[in-house]
Amino acid sequence: MTNLLVELFVEELPPKALKKLGESFATVLADSLKAQGLAAADAAVTPFASPRRLGVHVTGVAAKAADKAQQQKLMPVAVALTADGQATPALLKKLAAVGAGPEVVPQLKRQPDGKAEALFWDSVQPGATLAQGLQKALDETLAKLPIPKVMTYQLTDGWTDVKFVRPAHGLIALHGSEVVPVQTLGLASGRTTQGHRFEAAQPTVSIESADSYARQLFEQGAVIAGFAERRAEISRQLKGAADALSLTPIDDDALLDEVTALVERPNVLTCAFEPEFLAVPQECLILTMKANQKYFPLLDAQGKLTRHFLVVSNIAPADASAVTGGNERVVRPRLADAKFFFDQDRKKTLESRLPGLGKVVYHGKLGSQGERAERVRAIAHAIVNQLSMATLPYTVEADDEFKVLDSKVKQAATLAKCDLLTDMVGEFPELQGIMGGYYARHEGLRDGVAIAIEDHYKPRFAGDALPRNHTGTVVALADKLETLVGLFGIGQLPTGDKDPFALRRHALGVIRILVEKNLPLELPALIDAAVPPFGELITNPRDALLGFFADRLAVSLRDQGYSAQEVDAVLALNPTRLGDVPKRLEAVRAFAALTEAASLAAANKRVGNILKKVDGELPTEVKAELLQAAAEQALATAIAGVQPQADTLFAQHDYTGSLKALAALKGPVDAFFDDVMVNAEDPALRANRLALLGRLHTAMNRVADLSRLA
């Protein structure tokens, strides 16, 4: 067994796609070799991906796969042979199709095949040679590459067109030190590749063997071929350069991946810009440096942007001043543009931009952004009313009455979308909301309103922070509900992996706000409040949305580590106040740990099945005089003793205590099912026992459907 190295040398690959291209190239090629028996299932696979190459190193690759014995069914004996045992034309034709001739007829075996006998041919399939297998693997690999956009280019003959992600100029295929003869994209395999454009000790590197590839590229070609190794080296240099200034580089995995895909030999350099640009909101400066220049801004200990930033260069000159000076000159116009946008935007108030929202189309069936802002304001007002009338107390800020909160909410909801018309958000859409908060503070609006405008898109993604104050919480809920109700109301539902309006993310945002802030709001009432502002534009999507929320909530809870049984038990009751759900789940988990839990869950399931079969209305009154058997009397007494305590704890939202109180019912329930016939012949007796079971079922299933734990 010898190790294998394959490299495809190309022109600069798209940086945002390089990581996936490298992983796919290595994985698909190695899997194909394994499937053909040329590599072991546990063979080590090392991917290589740099701006100008895709490669893979596979350990323990055979020069030829082992031969395989195989048995092929040909056809029924009655069709294959004549009455005197001679081969029929049909059999001869079948043998020719599988690569055999008449001479193998005496070797064919008769074996039962269902109701009749059939002829089978035992043969040996020769194992593929490495050249054959690698050619097949290479063809499969290139066909399956996740290429974002295909290029068409001509080969050197000037006639032949080739389609690939970028023009390819070299192919290496080494089995140990031997070249494996394969071809692709008009290239024949060899052992030479090219190193770094400027830093290589020699322009062409001749690879001695599969195992020397990475070392030779590094030493002779000045290239770190492995994506992961290059990424780690950039991280190390970023930290070292930042530590020298007692600062911290911004944490951005996507940016680090992209920069890793842009350089072959990273060299981190420290640069700086003029201090006056720090007057611009740091989010603007950070975004333009990351998005446009691929720089790493540096933050101080308080998380504030400093004038220093890091550049990942692809060259390492002895005097780096020209490189640092060039990058400082390049970033200056970008920062100047951001400062200009910020200064210009502050010349107009957010409120003065309101009429312009009426000219911005939100959706062809749902009107303009101005109409949308009106709907968000109406929904936010309804949410404040629901909070003020909630059964559970909801305390707003010390200096706020609900009237004051309503005033803040209306103002924030009205102005929240106005920053969409600013130059800064026009240039950087990612800053919507954030810039609105800055401009609101500049105008002297109440800080609670400014924070709400800034936060009303939160949470923007999984793990994002929630709105920081009550005003922002209400407006964020209203904004997400307006989007969900509106788009569901016109039939724009997510399908499969397609969710162009990010409705799943909006639903998870609503769920997180309701759960993590433990708001005393019920989801059906929130949806109902969000429908009227649309008037005749939509049909009421209440049922579809409730199902959508239930699915999103179930997925979210399972992702948090709750079992499918626990989630099903709680959600089976369709809880309308989502803030209760975590407490109910913890109660179910604590109950399931009790020794009595399994027996009670099974009994609960049995009770549910009995009650489902009752024709007509279920009896509800339990008459003491009809409790004849000692076991049913004991059960009635036990329920009467346990239920008040369980109900009191439930009312106090002590769901764990409420469920644990039910543990005392195990003995009486077991005895009841051992000794009592529920479906007695006497109708009155049967009705009384069903009523007793109905009371038991109600007592046991207030927190969750315990039968789901059986």
The two structure tokens encoding residue 70: 């195989």
CATH code reported for the domain at 2-65+129-219: 3.30.70
Give the residue from 413, 434, 527, 426 showing the smallest Cα distance to 481.
527
The whole-angstrom separation of Cα 162 and Cα 45 is: 28
Residues of the chain with pLDDT > 70, as a percent, come to 99
Give the residue from 557, 532, 556, 553 showing the smallest Cα distance to 542.
532
Contacts of 373 (CB under 8 A, 6+ apart): 354, 357, 413, 414, 416, 417
Domain boundaries, the chain: 2-65+129-219, 70-125, 227-345, 353-561, 584-709
Give the pLDDT band of residue 413 (cuts 50, 70, 90). Answer: very high
Contacts of 499 (CB under 8 A, 6+ apart): 505
The whole-angstrom separation of Cα 241 and Cα 670 is: 71
Instruction: Determine whether domain 584-709 maps to CATH 1.10.730.10.
Output: yes
Which residue has better confidence, 9 or 697?
9
Q: What is the pLDDT of residues 536-548, one digit of tens each?
A: 999 999 999 999 9
The whole-angstrom separation of Cα 214 and Cα 208 is: 11
Q: What is the pLDDT of residues 227-254, one digit of tens each?
A: 999 999 999 999 999 999 999 999 999 9
Give the pLDDT band of residue 143 (cuts 50, 70, 90). Answer: very high
Quick one: average pLDDT of 51-70? 91
Quick one: average pLDDT of 138-158? 92
Answer whether 583's CB lies under 8 Å from 653's CB. Answer: yes
CATH architecture of 353-561: Orthogonal Bundle (1.10)
Q: What is the pLDDT of residues 641-658, one digit of tens each?
A: 888 888 888 888 888 988
Q: Identify the weakest region by mean pLDDT among 128-132, 257-261, 473-477, 483-487.
A: 128-132
Report the Cα 357 to chain-centroid distance in Å: 33
Q: Identify the weakest region by mean pLDDT among 123-137, 297-311, 607-621.
A: 607-621
Question: Secondary structure of 26-51 in the HEC alphabet?
Answer: HHHHHHHHHHCCCECCCCCEEEEEEC
The two structure tokens encoding residue 261: 């895909």
Q: What is the pLDDT of residue 439?
A: 96
Question: Which pTM does this prediction carry?
Answer: 0.81
Q: What is the pLDDT of residue 397?
A: 61
Same fold, 2-65+129-219 and 353-561: no
Which residue blocks in 37-171 are alpha helix, DSSP H? 77-80, 89-97, 130-144
Q: Report the 10 Å Cβ neighbour count for 580.
A: 20
Q: Taking the CA of residue 555 as centre, how many other CA atoms within 13 Å lie in the half-sphere pointing to its CB?
A: 12
The whole-angstrom separation of Cα 599 and Cα 611 is: 18
